[in-house]
């Protein structure tokens, strides 16, 4: 453990030196940008939280890893920057074990993130939260010939989601000590079976270093406008790609149609509900295995979901817990949940990537969608 810590510490130090060099050379013409540029490195320690007994059977070690971020402190150019108390945005890299290097391998992830803190100004102590979305590469996966013990992940490329609660303690004007408590999820959205997914719970600690002391007098501090709260309707269509079972190689294309009503409850959040209709041709295979005949209506699922959307400029995060109103020939239970991101292409047109799941975290498929939203 001690050797691992020393190795990671050296990598973090080298990363910080590299970013300083890049800042001083590559961005020499942009003092305003480099004055808000920062890097941080954290060490992680935790465990895999298996939701299936056969996954936990092969877990024989705790999770140790590290995380490297580079980003900028927003200065208020956008209204949501000021609303969220000038959050930090950037990109990062995460690497850790998964409880058994021989069966589950190691995870490497690249992601974008938003890191916000709740107390205004620059107090000695602060706290907040961070959310990251990206892609992960897992070095081991299920293989019928060489790694049939791994019933958690069937693909090396997977979605990466990380949410954490963070604390920040100021050491000096440029250096901060950072601690965190977070959960990490990796899965392929049922694109390739098996896809039970891996969930990690970790505590973290590290150092955040700002390249130059920020000039807070340059931050935009105009009042946030208080616009009238609006109601919205959204019509969205989407499709995905999924595999029914590792025993059958064929992939299917489920279709989705959603009608959603929402209302602004603040400058950056919306609350509403939706009706979602799914046409899933993979159900036909499931029905055939039950020695039954499938009709077109048997391949249709209908779900009702609540919807909470957290907007950060053109990008927004969406959480939609719900239940099935119609779900024939399936042992997936009554819950139908969705979590994803949306991007506002124009005032009315938006694109979305959503993980549609059964229960709390049993992915059904990744939905790629396009929608039209109007207000009234």
C-beta separation of 336 from 319 below 8 A: no
Would you state the pLDDT for residue 19? 47
Would you state the pLDDT for residue 203? 97
- Quick one: CA torsion of 113, 131, 177, 38, rounded to 10 degrees? 10
Please state the domain extents for the chain. 2-215, 231-375
Would you state the pLDDT for residue 305? 97
The rounded mean pLDDT for the chain is: 85
Q: For residue 234, give Cα distances in angstroms to 357, 367, 374.
A: 21, 16, 7
Same fold, 2-215 and 231-375: yes
CATH class of 231-375: mainly beta
Would you state the pLDDT for residue 163? 95
Exposure class string for 111-131: b at 16+ Cβ within 10 A, else e = bebbbbbeeeeeeeebebbbb
Would you state the pLDDT for residue 288? 77
Tokens 């990363």 belong to residue: 15
Report the CATH architecture of 2-215. Answer: Beta Barrel (2.40)
Would you state the pLDDT for residue 62? 93
Would you state the pLDDT for residue 225? 60
Burial of residue 227, with CB atoms counted within 10 A of its CB: 0-12 exposed, 13-18 middle, 19 or more buried: exposed
The list of the chain residues with pLDDT below 70 reads 1-34, 214-218, 222-228, 291, 294, 329-330, 360-361
Centroid of chain to Cα 277: 24
Any idea what the Cα angle at residue 234 is, between residues 88 and 89, rounded to 5°? 5
């Amino acid at each position: 453990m001690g050797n691992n810590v020393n190795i990671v510490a050296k990598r973090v130090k080298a990363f910080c030196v590299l970013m300083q060099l890049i800042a001083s050379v590559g961005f020499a013409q942009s003092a305003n940008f480099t004055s808000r540029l920062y890097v941080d490195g954290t060490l992680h320690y935790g465990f895999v939280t298996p939701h299936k007994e056969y996954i936990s059977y092969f877990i024989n070690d705790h999770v140790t890893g590290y995380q490297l971020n580079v980003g900028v402190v927003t200065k208020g150019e956008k209204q949501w920057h000021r609303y969220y108390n000038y959050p930090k945005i950037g990109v990062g890299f995460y690497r850790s074990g998964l409880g058994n290097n021989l069966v589950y391998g190691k995870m490497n992830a690249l992601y974008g993130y938003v890191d916000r803190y709740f107390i205004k100004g620059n107090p000695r102590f602060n706290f907040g939260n961070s959310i990251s979305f990206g892609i992960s590469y897992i070095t081991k996966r299920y293989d019928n010939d060489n790694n049939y013990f791994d019933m958690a992940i069937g693909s090396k490329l997977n979605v990466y989601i990380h949410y954490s609660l963070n604390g920040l303690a100021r050491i000096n004007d440029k250096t901060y000590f950072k601690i965190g408590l977070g959960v990490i999820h990796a899965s392929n959205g049922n694109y390739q079976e098996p896809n039970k997914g891996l969930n990690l719970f970790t505590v973290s600690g590290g150092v955040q270093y700002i390249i130059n002391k920020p000039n807070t007098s340059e931050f935009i501090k105009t009042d946030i406008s208080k616009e009238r709260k609006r109601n919205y309707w959204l019509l969205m269509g989407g499709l995905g790609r999924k595999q029914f079972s590792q025993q059958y190689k064929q992939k299917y294309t489920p279709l989705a149609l959603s009608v959603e009503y929402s209302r602004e409850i603040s400058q950056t959040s919306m609350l509403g509900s939706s009706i979602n209709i799914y046409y899933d041709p993979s159900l036909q295979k499931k029905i055939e295995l039950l020695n039954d005949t499938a009709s077109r209506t048997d391949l249709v699922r209908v779900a009702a979901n609540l919807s909470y959307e957290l907007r950060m400029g053109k990008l927004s995060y969406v959480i939609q817990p719900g239940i099935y109103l119609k779900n024939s020939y399936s042992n997936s239970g009554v819950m139908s949940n969705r979590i994803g991101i949306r991007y506002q292409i124009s005032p009315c047109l938006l694109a979305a990537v959503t993980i549609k799941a059964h229960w709390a975290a049993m992915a059904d498929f990744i939905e790629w969608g396009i929608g039209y939203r109007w207000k009234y």
